[in-house]
């Protein structure tokens, strides 16, 4: 049976109409899908930001609590040093008049001490004074500091004595006066106070650094998560567009073959 040209034309026109209609529907679906994808992407990004911000804020709160605890500990040690200096002011006055640094140490001027000295420097100054007390070398100690208190050598080395100072041995000796033992005991208590203070200061500095690194890492993780969400959404959108283009190409090829 011979098909009339008019019938073929009618069929082709109808086929083209439905193809265009189908493509329009697909395009509309793609547009809606893009809009939904954009909405979902924004929602996912906001959710990720909110979750990470909650974690960051909780971390900040915990770090603030820890920081406050360390600061309280620091203030307690400062108060302890001042109490020692007040309680043993008569004994510690033996350290006055040699250098401004040693004056600050025995007077309990903690801010000046921690601002200008590390713990080793504080310890060396107290050891210098202890050696001077034990060996009755006050004049030599004045000369030592008059020449400059930035020496690498301790006072005992300056005096040509490399024997380590054994305070416990001195304190247990029957030949050492109670006054000297009182001065040495006060200095030992003061040294212990400064040791605890400097350890706490080190803890505070270390914690500040750890806290900053921890928060920076959390912030970086949040940025990476948001980037991954955006990349995933873009890949999904491109895949959808590719599927529609493949469908259109397939339909076009079928039309060509039908002709």
pLDDT tens, position by position, 108-161 = 999 999 999 999 999 999 999 999 999 999 999 999 999 986 677 899 999 999
N residues, the chain: 259
State the burial class of residue 129 (Cβ atoms within 10 Å of its Cβ: 0-12, 13-18, 19+): buried
Quote the tokens at residue 112.
Answer: 């000046």
Quote the tokens at residue 96.
Answer: 């006055």
Is 235:41 a contact under the CB 8 Å cutoff?
no
pLDDT tens, position by position, 172-201 = 999 999 999 999 999 999 999 999 999 999
pLDDT tens, position by position, 212-245 = 998 898 888 878 877 776 665 555 555 544 544 5
Q: Compute the mean pLDDT over every residue in the chain, rounded to the nearest whole number.
A: 80
User: Quick count: other Cβ atoms within 10 Å of Cβ 196?
Assistant: 16
The tokens 């040791």 sit on which residue?
Answer: 195
* 143/152 Cα distance (integer angstroms): 15
> Which has more confidence, 148 or 79?
79
Is 186:84 a contact under the CB 8 Å cutoff?
yes
**Residue 205 pLDDT > 60, yes or no?**
yes
Sign of torsion, CA 133 134 135 141? negative
pLDDT band, residue 15 (cuts 50/70/90): very low
């Amino acid at each position: 049976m011979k098909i009339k040209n008019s019938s073929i034309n009618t069929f082709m026109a109808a086929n083209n109409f439905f193809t265009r209609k189908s493509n329009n529907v697909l395009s509309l679906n793609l547009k809606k899908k893009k809009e939904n994808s954009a909405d979902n992407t924004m929602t996912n990004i906001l959710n990720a930001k909110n979750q990470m911000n909650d974690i960051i804020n909780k971390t900040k709160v915990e770090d603030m609590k820890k920081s406050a605890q360390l600061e309280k500990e620091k203030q307690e040690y400062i108060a302890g040093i001042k109490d020692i200096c007040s309680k043993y002011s008569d004994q510690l006055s033996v350290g006055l008049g040699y250098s401004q640094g040693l004056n600050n140490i025995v007077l309990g001027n903690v801010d000046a001490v921690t601002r200008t000295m590390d713990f080793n420097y504080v310890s060396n100054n107290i050891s210098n004074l202890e050696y001077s007390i034990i060996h009755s070398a006050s004049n030599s100690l004045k000369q030592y500091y008059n020449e400059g208190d930035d020496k690498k050598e301790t006072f005992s080395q300056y005096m040509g004595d490399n024997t380590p100072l054994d305070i416990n041995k001195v304190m247990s000796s029957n030949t050492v006066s109670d006054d000297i033992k009182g001065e040495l005991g006060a200095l030992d208590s003061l040294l212990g106070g400064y040791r605890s203070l400097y350890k706490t200061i080190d803890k505070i500095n270390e914690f500040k650094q750890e806290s900053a690194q921890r928060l920076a890492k959390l912030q970086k993780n949040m940025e990476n998560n948001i980037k991954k969400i955006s990349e995933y959404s873009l890949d999904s959108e491109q895949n959808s567009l590719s599927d529609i283009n493949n469908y259109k190409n397939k339909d076009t090829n079928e039309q060509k073959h039908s002709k």
